[in-house]
Chains A and B, each alone.
Chain A
Amino acid sequence: MDCVIDFQHKQSAHCESGVAAALVNHQGLSLSEPMAFGMGGGLFFGYFPFIKINGLPLTTYRCATGNILKRLTANLGFTIKGHTFRKPQPAMELLDDYLSQGIPVGLQTSVFWLPYFPKAYRFHFNGHNLVVYGKEGNDYLISDPVFPMPVTCPAEDLIRARFAPGALAPKGKMYVLERGEHEPDPADGIVDGLRFVSRYMIKKPFFLVGVRGIRFLASRLVKWPQRLGREKADLHLGHVVRMQEEIGTGGGGFRFLFGDFLRESSDLLQVPELSACAAEFTEIGDRWRDFATMAARVCKGRALAGDSYGAMSAIMMDCADREEQAFSKLLKLVAEIG
């Protein structure tokens, strides 16, 4: 069965918001990646030391995988049809079935088994998202949003990637979008995304998430060298930076991406105050990036005068303060708009 769906590939910073934007665009609704990310309520912070990834504590700058898509589609009045499977065969059959009907399919996969990924990214990470838009012989045609061009993947590798076990196991997860009957006002979606993220960041009474989570991590990080020894402290630090800057965050732990969402929303809703908030998030992203570059110098053993775990903790505390201010401003704005 050979088939190719006319699907527009666009490179994005982040896999899930990129896939979400591309699938929505395919339905004839123009939407940028930052808008998909923002209306999907993608921004987050959480530090969960009791969940270990490769033996290192989980730090995340975004919401759990799958939630952006759920929230975005709900906000746009789309329905999302999702499937998971226990066995590969029906999972591949249904995929072929959708393709032959001309429907592009979103998949959750592991990156370890995808041969088109550069070697440096090939870890057992199961939270990746991509769109399959065709099949030629044994190869699937894939629009993977982090790549500049569409790619291909042999069926057997795709099966492994869809059924990789371990943390976040995709279990063959696949999804297609359908346009709903009525079209909600995009303004409501923007307000919903903003309200959701702002509340999560400053109103959650739990010390590991939001602004409190950032402060908690900052207070722990400063003690890492004494508590863990220098080498392990550097590994923990490097892990935080990877979650913040490695493929798919758009830099600054998604804060730049969020800033762009605010700027676009400001134009769309004609609310200039949002544009001022956008500038604040850009500055916040810069502060996160200051932290990352200092951390990289420390990990590389090329620390400059003034680089230390204490200094990094102070930058992070500054990020928390700025985010607290920016999100309270946003919450007030949202109350006025919505």
Chain B
Amino acid sequence: MMDEGKINGVSEGMPLIQYAVEGQGQCRRVESTDTSTVDVVNRQAWEVIEREVVTARARVVAGEASVLLYYMAVNQMDPSLLAKYMGIARWRVKRHLKPGVFLKLHPELLAGYAGLFKIGADDLRQGLFMSAVYEKGQ
């Protein structure tokens, strides 16, 4: 049971420092892998993101939005944050969310988006659903 908790916990089994109570009401620096309370609320936050990704994906598949909507959702961004990363105006990002506009996107902008999301420019042009930036950890 313990091991299972460790692997699924937010810290993936990495011990964290807690200042916990010991003995006579004294605080002590302890290493702990028990993250059970945090796991619940952290999971809750991820579920919100995952729901947004599912919705975004469905809209892309239905042809209502460009694949950019999926990448924005999976990387936890909104048009204004994405615009700041790209160094362009928000209305332009919003425009790029339209499938027709996205198809004719300037190669330089496309490369910029692809670089930000850490995917190939061709993958982005073809509208493939690649994984999020944080799925490519060490």
Interface residues of B (CB under 8 A from A): 10-12, 14-21, 25-29, 31, 36-38, 40-42, 44-46, 48, 76-77, 81, 84-85, 133-138
Instruction: Establish whether residues A121 and B137, one from each chain, have CB atoms under 8 Å apart when the complex forms.
Output: no
Known: A238-B45, A242-B41. A116 touches B27 (CB 8 A): no
Q: With A120-B46, A166-B84, A238-B44 in contact, is A263–B26 under 8 Å at CB?
A: yes
20 contacts between A and B (CB under 8 A): A11-B31, A12-B17, A115-B138, A117-B134, A118-B14, A120-B11, A121-B10, A147-B14, A165-B81, A234-B44, A238-B41, A247-B38, A251-B20, A256-B18, A256-B19, A257-B27, A259-B27, A260-B27, A285-B27, A299-B41
Identity of the chain B residue whose Cβ is nearest the Cβ of A151 in the assembled complex: B138
| Residues A282 and B21 in contact, CB atoms below 8 Å apart | yes
Interface residues of A (CB under 8 A from B): 11-13, 33-34, 54, 112-113, 115-124, 146-148, 164-166, 234-235, 238-239, 241-242, 245-247, 250-252, 256-257, 259-260, 263, 278-279, 282-283, 285-286, 289, 292-293, 295-296, 299-300
Q: Is the CB of B81 within 8 A of A166?
A: yes
> Known contacts A242-B45, A278-B26, A282-B26; can you find 20 more A-B pairs with CB under 8 A?
A11-B31, A33-B29, A116-B137, A119-B134, A121-B10, A165-B81, A235-B48, A238-B40, A246-B41, A247-B11, A251-B18, A252-B19, A256-B18, A259-B19, A260-B27, A260-B28, A260-B29, A279-B25, A279-B26, A296-B40
**In the complex, are the beta carbons of A34 and B10 less than 8 A apart?**
no
Whether A250 lies near B17 (C-beta < 8 A) is: yes
* Residue among B16, B27, B46, B77 having the largest count of chain A Cβ atoms under 10 Å: B27
Q: Which of B29, B31, B135 contacts A119 (CB 8 A)?
A: B135
Smallest Cβ distance from A301 to chain B, in angstroms?
10
A205 to B7, CA, bound (A): 46
B50 to chain A, nearest CB (A): 12
Residues B42 and A246 in contact, CB atoms below 8 Å apart: yes
List residues of chain A with CB within 8 A of the CB of B21: 256, 282, 285-286
A255's nearest neighbour on chain B, judged by CB, is: B19
Q: Of A242, A251, A292, which is in contact with the most chain B CB atoms at under 10 Å from its CB?
A: A251
Q: A115-B138, A118-B11, A120-B10 are in contact. Are A250 and B85 (CB under 8 A)?
A: no
Among residues of A, the one whose C-beta sits closest to the C-beta of B134 is A122
**Shortest 10 CB-CB contacts between residues of A and residues of B:** A165-B84, A256-B19, A122-B134, A238-B41, A120-B10, A250-B19, A260-B27, A296-B40, A13-B17, A238-B44
B16 touches A146 (CB 8 A): yes
* Alpha-carbon distance between A34 and B29 when the two chains are bound, in angstroms: 9
Q: Are B41 and A241 interface neighbours, CB within 8 A? A: yes
The residue of chain B having its C-beta at the shortest distance from the C-beta of A148 within the complex is B15
By the criterion CB–CB under 8 Å, are B41 and A250 in contact?
A: no
Is B25 in contact with A246, judged by CB distance below 8 angstroms? no
CB-CB < 8 A to B27: which residues of A? 34, 256-257, 259-260, 263, 278, 282, 285
Query: Which residues of chain B are near A246, meaning CB under 8 Å?
Result: 10, 38, 41-42
Query: Which of B45, B84, B133 has its CB near the most chain A CB atoms (within 10 A)?
Result: B45
Given A238-B41, A242-B45: A118 touches B12 (CB 8 Å cut-off)? yes
Cβ of B42 and Cβ of A242 under 8 Å apart? yes
- A250 and B18 form a contact (CB under 8 A): yes
Q: A112-B76, A112-B133 are in contact. Are A251 and B19 (CB under 8 A)?
A: yes
Closest A residue, CB atoms, query B40: A296
* Contact of B16 with A13 in the complex, beta carbons under 8 Å: yes
CB-nearest residue of chain B relative to A169? B84
A319 to chain B, nearest CB (A): 16
From residue A204, how far is it (CB to closest CB) to chain B in Å?
A: 26
C-alpha spacing A11/B16, complex, angstroms = 8
CB closest residue in chain B, given A56: B45
Chain B residues near A242 (CB, 8 Å)? 38, 41-42, 45
B44, A299: Cβ atoms under 8 Å?
A: yes
